[in-house]
A and B are shown apart, each in its own frame.
Chain A
Amino acid sequence: MKDDHSSAPRTVPIQSATFSNPVNAEIRRAAATGIYDIRGGGAKRKVPHFDDLLFLGASISRYPLEGYREACDTSVTLGTRYAKNPIKLDIPITIAGMSFGALSGPAKEALGRGATLAGTSTTTGDGGMTPEERGHSKMLVYQYLPSRYGMNPDDLRKADAIEVVVGQGAKPGGGGMLLGQKITDRVAQMRNLPKGIDQRSACRHPDWTGPDDLEIKILELREITGWKVPIYIKVGGARPYFDTTLAVKAGADVVVIDGMQGGTAATQDVFIEHVGMPTLACIREAVRALEDLGMHREVQLIVSGGIRTGADVAKCMALGADAVSIGTAALIALGDNDPKWEAEYQKLGTTAGAYDDWHEGNDPAGISTQNPDLAARLDPVEGGRRLRNYLKVMTLEAQTIARACGKNKLQNLEPEDLCALTMEAAAMAKVPLAGTDWWPGKPGTTF
């Protein structure tokens, strides 16, 4: 007599952690199209981040400042090393470089308006400077990029600072691409290219290689601008100790380090997710480089890549940054990925919060588009107001934390104010694991 297995318990289907549904879907998509996935934004994978750090606050060993009434200075001056006219910001939160072309005209205008209302700077991007952006930005940083799209000495001299872009956190070592869908007549004219074709941005500058050349390039830029404005060097988070060292050697007034959570307008997903380092891992190494050179605070450090809250700002500054820069968060403040456009996100095959096909130019929020009908959805005045509000909230949050740590100036926050929740974060931030006085790699200890 055979056993009857019909009613026996069955093996539960188990999804592979390696071949997960999203992985399998991507394999099928690649097999069907033969084209790798391009998208906007930064790394979406979970990496050690500022959420893995906590402030300790005050207790008996140190006393706090009164939360609302005692002064807590948020100002910062950038470019004190060589520039005749350093940039003086009311808040240590700047707006990162994003191009007209990748973003709509109203979006760029809104960024300028919001930054100006908040007392901070905004930044151009690949494609050059537009009159609207210059007109609405009290302090405008001009990006000097490998493509040199739209680059000219007149705009260079209109800038309040120059940012030599060596790399981005989303794609250190990679160039960019602005797909033809977004190349309108105006964008094409600004970039000296035909309308409608994909525009590649080179990964290397066309007329210098290496830090010795860069030093001479910076000399040229200073000579053309009369040594008036600060020159930043922006690098993607990859080898922050060496890159910072070489940037300082090349003559930077300010070093900008952009971690892998930092966004891009369009790059291969595989690049965004698999190249570069988390922002958290970059800061202390960059600060160490500055300290080893005796240049910490003389050459200022700006950190970007995944900054969302005043707590993130305060943590960056406690780790040694002078200021931070935001891109993706600023776009969200303007209305990017807002659930009110959910029906239209669904039509695009995505959902609010996940929309990242910025390169296709169909953004329902009117931000990452050159479609005039979509762009008209964004009121630049209202967008500027929203960004100003958001920057104000971030600043108030950072001040709240600083006062709780007994600091009357954001820049006085220090690593000692922090602890880490995970071993990884402790190692990257070089602050003690919570409840201990130890972190992996701490000098004088073994692991």
Chain B
Amino acid sequence: MQTIDMATTALRDLNATLQAQAEATNQTAWEIVNPKGSHAIAVGLDAPIEVTVKGSTGYYCAGMNKQATITVNGSVGPGVAENMMSGTVIIDGDASQYAGATGHGGTLIIKGNASSRCGISMKGIDIIVHGNVGHMSAFMAQSGNLVVCGDAGDALGDSIYEARLFVRGSVKSLGADCIEKEMRPEHIALLADLLERGGCDAKPEEFKRYGSARQLYNFNIDNAY
């Protein structure tokens, strides 16, 4: 286990060290202590290493992650795992706005709640939230899966494309062009896998599925408002 203390190590040195890890590095386990809410911790990683942040972080923790597994023993600020490409990011606490924004791949697990715009413009990432998500979550979500074990706020899935949304609790309102859809066997199977990967104590049958009505896909006056 390699330990980096942010009380004595600059952010630049922290990220440069983690980014320098080669694909076949022997130093696969890293611990970051004293993060004290710093921004841009463990961003741009591209190696199959495991990084544990012992405390809460600021903006963009694990941004653009590839391959790495990053666990935060605390809560995270806005934009956690934004534009993630692959790998896994696990948040033990809550996540602020834009969690998983524009993520292309990988898995983001939030064991607490996520604030507004969770999964905004997601492009293939899987996001699993044990608690609730705030308003405008999955706005313009293109692809990937968003699982919400709690409730969803206003305007869920506004202007959604092909992403799949699964919510166990209530949905305050659906956004433009987002509708409830049938849970077919393939969706049950997909959701079962997501719940297992996310470590969720929930059954797929308890969820409803939401997705695009595909009425906004081509410009038409009847869609203007």
Chain A interface residues toward B at CB < 8 A: 33-35, 38, 147-148, 151-153, 156, 177, 179-180, 191-194, 197-198, 200, 202, 206-208, 213, 216-217, 219-220, 223-227
Take A194-B162, A216-B39, A216-B58 as given contacts and tell me if A207 and B124 are in contact as well, using a CB distance cutoff of 8 Å: no
CA A216 to CA B16, docked complex, whole Å: 18
Q: Contact: A202 with B60, CB < 8 Å?
A: no
Q: B47 interface residue, CB < 8 Å from A?
A: no
29 A-B pairs in the complex with CB atoms less than 8 angstroms apart: A34-B221, A35-B219, A148-B83, A151-B83, A152-B104, A153-B44, A153-B64, A153-B83, A153-B85, A192-B142, A192-B143, A197-B218, A206-B102, A206-B117, A207-B97, A207-B120, A208-B79, A213-B78, A216-B40, A217-B79, A220-B39, A220-B43, A220-B59, A220-B63, A223-B11, A223-B15, A223-B40, A223-B43, A224-B64
B161 at the interface (CB under 8 A from A): yes
A152, A191, A208: which contacts B85 (Cβ < 8 A)?
A152
Across the interface, which residues of A come within 8 angstroms of B145, CB to CB?
none
Known contacts: A193-B161, A206-B121. The answer to whether A219 contacts B101 by CB under 8 A is: no
CA distance A224 to B161 in the complex (A): 29
Of A35, A177, A197, A225, chain B has the most CB atoms within 10 Å of the CB of A197
In the complex, which of the residues A197, A202, A217, A224 contacts B217, with contact meaning CB atoms closer than 8 Å? A197
Question: Which residues of B have CB within 8 Å of A191?
Answer: 142
- How many angstroms between the C-alpha atoms of A38 and B82 in the bound complex? 32
User: With A147-B121, A192-B143 given, can you name 8 additional A-B contacts, CB distance below 8 Å?
Assistant: A38-B219, A151-B102, A206-B120, A207-B60, A207-B78, A208-B78, A216-B59, A226-B19
Give a binary string over B43-70; 1 marks a CB under 8 Å from any A CB, 0 the rest: 1101000000000001110011010000
- The CB with the most chain B CB atoms within 10 A, among A151, A180, A224, A227, is that of A224
Is B155 an interface residue when CB atoms closer than 8 A count as contact?
Answer: no
B16, A226: Cβ atoms closer than 8 Å? yes
- B135 in contact (CB, < 8 A): no
Q: Give the CA-CA distance A224 to B18 in the complex, in Å.
A: 11
CA distance A378 to B26 in the complex (A): 51
Interface of B: prevailing SS: loop
Distance in angstroms from A48 CB to nearest chain B CB is: 34
Cα distance, A225 to B19, chains bound together (Å): 10
| Distance, CA A97 to CA B124, complexed state (A) | 26
Q: Establish whether residues A227 and B12, one from each chain, have CB atoms under 8 Å apart when the complex forms.
A: yes
| Bound Cα distance A200, B124 (Å) | 17
> Would you call B98 an interface residue if the criterion is a C-beta within 8 Å of the partner chain's C-beta atoms?
yes
**Docked complex: B179-225 residues within 8 A CB-CB of A:** 217-221
User: What CA separation (Å) do A418 and B221 show in the bound complex?
Assistant: 49
Q: How far is the CA of A193 from the CA of B160 in the complex (A)?
A: 11
**Residue B159 is within 8 A (CB to CB) of chain A in the complex:** yes
Task: Tell me whether chain A's interface is mostly helix, strand or loop, or mixed.
Answer: loop
Cα A180 to Cα B60 in complex, Å, equals 33
- Name B144's closest neighbour in chain A (CB-CB): A192
CB of B123 within 8 Å of the partner chain: yes
Interface residue from A177, A192, A217, A225 paired with B124 (Cβ < 8 Å):
A192
Q: If A33-B221, A220-B60, A224-B63 touch, does A207 touch B101 (CB 8 Å cutoff)?
A: yes
- Tell me the minimal C-beta distance from A217 to chain B in angstroms: 7
How far does the Cβ of B11 sit from chain A's closest Cβ, in whole Å? 7
9 A-B pairs with least C-beta separation: A224-B44, A34-B221, A207-B98, A148-B102, A197-B217, A207-B79, A192-B123, A153-B64, A207-B101
Q: Are A219 and B85 in contact (CB under 8 A)?
A: no
**Chain B residue at smallest Cβ distance from A226:** B16
Q: Which residues of B contact A177 (CB under 8 A)?
A: 219
For B220, what are the chain A residues with a Cβ–Cβ distance below 8 Å?
Answer: 35
Kindly provide the distance from the CB of A215 to the nearest chain B CB, expressed in whole angstroms: 9
Q: Which chain B positions have C-beta within 8 A of A202?
A: 121, 140
Q: Which residue of A lies closest to B159 (CB)?
A: A200
**Set of chain A residues within 8 Å of B83, measured between Cβ atoms:** 148, 151-153
A223 touches B218 (CB 8 A): no
Q: Chain A's nearest CB lies how many Å from the CB of B221?
A: 4
B98 contacts A206, C-beta separation under 8 Å: yes
Give, as a whole number of angstroms, the nearest-CB distance from B209 to chain A: 19
A193 to B144 CA separation, bound complex (whole angstroms): 11
* In contact, B60 and A192 (Cβ under 8 angstroms): no
| 1/0 contact string of B114-134 vs chain A (CB within 8 Å) | 000100110110000000000
Task: Let me know if B39 and A219 touch, CB within 8 A.
Answer: yes
Please name all residues of chain B whose beta carbon is closer than 8 Å to the beta carbon of A224 when the two chains form the complex.
Answer: 15, 43-44, 63-64
B142, A213: Cβ atoms closer than 8 Å = no
A residues near B16, Cβ cutoff 8 Å? 226
Q: Which residues of B contact A38 (CB under 8 A)?
A: 219
Known: A147-B121, A148-B121, A148-B123. A207 touches B40 (CB 8 A): no
A369 → B minimal CB distance (Å):
19
Q: Which residues of A contact B12 (CB under 8 A)?
A: 223, 227
Neighbour of A193 across the interface among B11, B142, B159, CB < 8 A: B142
Residues of A within 8 A of B123 (CB): 148, 192
